[in-house]
Structure 1
């Protein structure tokens, strides 16, 4: 039984791949909200070590987890596409929004900065753990999508990480976008389907892992 489950999980992990679906004309709108909510439920079982700072628990979303997911349905994706095109956006984002069944804006919640601070966030151990936990939640969601046969893509966000997009979606300015997660339909006729460029260049486990040989001080 355990071997069967391991084989299924391993297969989903190995099969998951970047799929960008790019369309010049908007796809028909389909309601996939129930499926997206399933994915979010599964994603929420990601491990996290540190709870989110109290300042992030005062809005509409009050979970202690250090990530947030903002869900955009197909209608919303089409509206975002038009808004970006009206601003002259010539990136691939509007073309992906034309095809997407849904978009998930995944953010992570940095701790409030202490003292003088010039960057997006302070490079503290706690913030590193928040990013890692949010990344685990994102991967959970993508694997759950893969298991259901849903093409998916983790994008850096482009214009979707800007202040205007955050304002349109009601995302608090104190959060940082970890990724724009595109979920696409399985029928992609009339669209350009582009795979990821790094999938087959990662090497083998021996290129990124090794058993360590301890060099401990003399206990005497």
Structure 2
């Protein structure tokens, strides 16, 4: 593929990426193409990051990157759904878990606080950089999912960011959920879908960018 074709193909994937919430009242058949999900997660590795993660986050997984990814196949999504139902959760998270072919829990790794604080993390420049890097990793994954014909939804987490869910999934409590990435099949029957409400409201480029002289 020539350079211009590569640019056009990338631009088209960026435009095609969309937020789509897929809801099912009962679990869909358990099909998870793990090799494709692994490729999607691997795309996140190429996000830029400015600072390495704190050493306290490297005991379970050793990478310097300031994010972590935890993947659940359809069966694990269904089991997590049932656990949430058992504790009384009746939100759309339960319906999305029923429809998902996979879920990727992406966390970011805050630096340990240097002083006493009740906040989940200190508002430092390095922590801002860690959040930005993890966000870039998520965007890479979303684009990779779009390129592989998955529908996707970046959720802030809801119940999926709670302590008990982290315990169920063996995610360290010192990590903070930045995005629960739901991957959905494109041809599911008996589901309800909802697109992102702000997709067409971002405005023309001139409303949020300008050249400086």
What TM-score range do you get, normalising by the shorter chain? over 0.9
Given the alignment of the two structures, is residue 121 of structure 1 paired with residue 121 of structure 2, yes or no? yes
Question: Distance between the aligned counterparts of 1:70 and 1:102, measured in 2?
Answer: 10
State TM-score, norm by structure 1: 0.95
Question: Distance between the aligned counterparts of 1:205 and 1:84, measured in 2?
Answer: 42
Question: Distance between the aligned counterparts of 2:178 and 2:81, measured in 1?
Answer: 20
Give the match for residue 194 of structure 1.
194
SS in 2 for 1:180: strand
5+ long unaligned stretches in structure 1: 214-220
Give the match for residue 24 of structure 1.
25
Instruction: Deviation per CA, 1:97-135: give whole Å up to 9, x if none.
Output: 001000000000000000111211111110000000000
Given the alignment of the two structures, is residue 141 of structure 1 paired with residue 141 of structure 2, yes or no? yes
CA shift, 1:41, in A, is 1.1
Instruction: Deviation per CA, 1:171-208: give whole Å up to 9, x if none.
Output: 00110000100000111210001100000000011111
Question: Distance between the aligned counterparts of 2:98 and 2:58, measured in 1?
Answer: 34
SS in 1 for 2:21: strand
Give the match for residue 85 of structure 1.
85
Give the match for residue 4 of structure 1.
5
5+ long unaligned stretches in structure 2: none
Assess if the C-alpha contact under 8 Å between 1:21 and 1:188 holds in 2.
Answer: no
Give the match for residue 36 of structure 1.
37
SS in 2 for 1:123: coil
Give the match for residue 207 of structure 2.
207
- 1:36-115 maps to which residues of 2 (within 5 A)? 36-59=37-60, 61-115=61-115
Question: Distance between the aligned counterparts of 2:9 and 2:44, measured in 1?
Answer: 17
Question: Distance between the aligned counterparts of 2:42 and 2:192, measured in 1?
Answer: 30
The root-mean-square deviation of aligned C-alpha atoms, in Å, is: 0.7
Give the match for residue 178 of structure 1.
178
CA shift, 1:31, in A, is 2.8
- 1:146-161 maps to which residues of 2 (within 5 A)? 146-161=146-161
Aligned positions, number: 212
User: Which one is further off, 103-112 or 30-39?
Assistant: 30-39
Question: Distance between the aligned counterparts of 1:155 and 1:204, measured in 2?
Answer: 25
Question: Distance between the aligned counterparts of 1:29 and 1:156, measured in 2?
Answer: 24
Question: Bigger radius of gyration, 1 or 2?
Answer: 1
Question: Distance between the aligned counterparts of 1:109 and 1:11, measured in 2?
Answer: 32
